[in-house]
A and B are shown apart, each in its own frame.
Chain A
Amino acid sequence: MASGSESLQKPISKAVQGRQARRREEELLVWPDLVFIEFISALLFMLTLTILSILINAPLQDRANPSHTPNPSKAPWYFLNLQELLLHMHPAIAGVLVPTIAVGALMAIPYLDNTREGEGKWWASPRAKINAKVGAFVGFFGTLLLILFNESKHVWLFEKATTLQWPSALNWLKNTRAIQTEIPWPESIRSISIGEKLFKTELLGLPPINLVLDIPKLLVEQIIPMTTMIGLPIILAVVAGKMNIAQTKRDYAILIFSAFMATWLMLTISGTALRGAGMELMWPWNVKPPVT
């Protein structure tokens, strides 16, 4: 500030205005402060990987054979979140739409949150930590509850607690698929013929595809999962806004991002540690290595 050339040192935002100039002692150097930590991390990572590879057998097997499926068949661990999603909805949504939108939304963060308020600072806003905590909590346990619901664990809990049978009138609430199979939907909406003209398969010399629209199936496989994945974050944001937990754009961004990361983590944990033979939900100690 002493130099007096104000045009060069014009503060960018009010957050920077009036801030003390950094002293030399406050700065951290790349070497040794950063590189040393990175080196220690690399050593720990190598050590962990070595120990894990000694303890856990991961044999290389033959090329993939469609007629031979190990039980359970699991993707690499970092894809198990998506595989967990595949258990609950249409494969095009879980395998294509969700990852595309997730990656696109992550790339869009700098464009959506373009305020320079608190730039480069962790937890700059006074509400940042509470937003992160609320988002992570709701995302983690909300996802867990949804998984438990689709595995009919509420039915199990009801029957354990009351020693009664789950009322057959509520069979359609056993899991999401039951909405399709346990409700006597009229045949007229179960097979709406769209005809063979939508896809011009005859141009490729292929047999015609007779498209039949099944509304309950569409509801269970596509509409309910999409509504859940879009609606629940909106409800979370609205509630957090009403409770004054989230106030600025940055607050909402932290809230939704934490919820997303916690959801992803829960899906990974569930797909990795809670799914055994037949991708059945079970305790981690009951999960056995795949039978080939």
Chain B
Amino acid sequence: MVNDNKDKEIEIQANDELLDKEIGSSPAAGESIDAWKDALSSRSTAVPKNIIVPSTQAHSVKPTVTRRTFVKGTFWTGFGVTILGFVGIFLDFFWPRGVEKFAGPYPVGNINDFKPGAPPVRFKAAQTWIVNLDPNDTSEVGGKGGSGLLALWQKCPHLGCAVPWRGGFNFNGDDGWFRCPCHGSTYTKAGVRVFGPAPRSMDTFELSVDAQGNLTVHTDKVIPGDEDNPVRAKTIDDISNSEA
């Protein structure tokens, strides 16, 4: 094939002169219309039969964009735009906005707000449940005789859902449990896990109290939850003494 093409190239070069002759030259400017008519009628644009133009020579001008380049370019552009879109969506969803700094001291009311054995109280900004365990309530759900105030982190140790207190929820014959709405982990009033996929009991925070009895929860001091959660509950005297 290569040899064939070379032969044809030579053939075309040889025919170039022939072409000039056959087409003929144009009359000079100012000549009569007849001369133009004669010149035109003697011209022939038909390609002589002995010239074979191979397909490789038919378009001797190299296109700047070939079909392959075009298809490739279209593919990569489409691909790139799609990936960019994904990256954009990812960033849009994961870009932190309106994030409030957590971890730190939060005021959580006064000691007089919490009656022993009363339902837990939630403090939204502190992400905390404040429980006042009744020392006379020795049932499992009531805190097993743990006495005083306990600050529980609302975040479920399983996958992080906010755990609500459900006073009317019956489990094992008792009413009133923390029950996670995502996967059903169940905790006693002291945050001790009794059921569900959670790896441990609810985490607790440190509590402190000032002279006026105002409570502060220290959300930067997290203690991983365990079965000793009820023992972590502190009476007001305990908290005051540990302060001093």
Contact = CB atoms under 8 A, between A and B. Distances in A.
Contact of A86 (B154, B166, B179, B197): B197
Given A69-B182, A278-B169, A279-B181, A177 B164 contact: no
Contacts of A175: 195
Contacts of B180: 278-279
A286 to B, nearest CB: 13
A113 interface: no
B197 A221 contact: yes
Interface size bracket, A side: 20 to 34
A88 B181 contact: no
B195 A177 contact: yes
B196 A87 contact: yes
Contacts of A278: 166, 169, 179-181, 184, 186
A63 B49 CA distance: 77
Contact of B196 (A67, A90, A177, A277): A177
Interface stretch (B19-27, B81-89, B107-115, B155-163): B155-163
Nearest to B154: A67
Interface string A65-82: 011111111000000000
A133 B11 CA distance: 79
Contacts of A70: 181
B197 A67 contact: no
Interface of B: 124, 127, 154-155, 158-164, 166, 169, 179-184, 186, 194-197, 199
A285 to B, nearest CB: 18
Contacts, number: 64
A87 B184 CA distance: 7
Contact of A87 (B154, B166, B197): B197
B156 to A, nearest CB: 9
A279 B182 contact: yes
A221 B182 contact: no
Contacts of A177: 195-196
A153 interface: no
Contacts of B158: 91
A153 B179 CA distance: 18
Interface in A28-86: 66-73, 83, 86
Contacts of B183: 83, 86-87, 279
A181 interface: yes
Contacts of B195: 175, 177
20 contacts: A66-B155, A67-B124, A67-B154, A68-B162, A69-B181, A70-B181, A71-B181, A72-B182, A73-B161, A83-B183, A86-B197, A87-B184, A91-B158, A217-B199, A221-B199, A277-B179, A278-B166, A279-B180, A279-B184, A280-B184
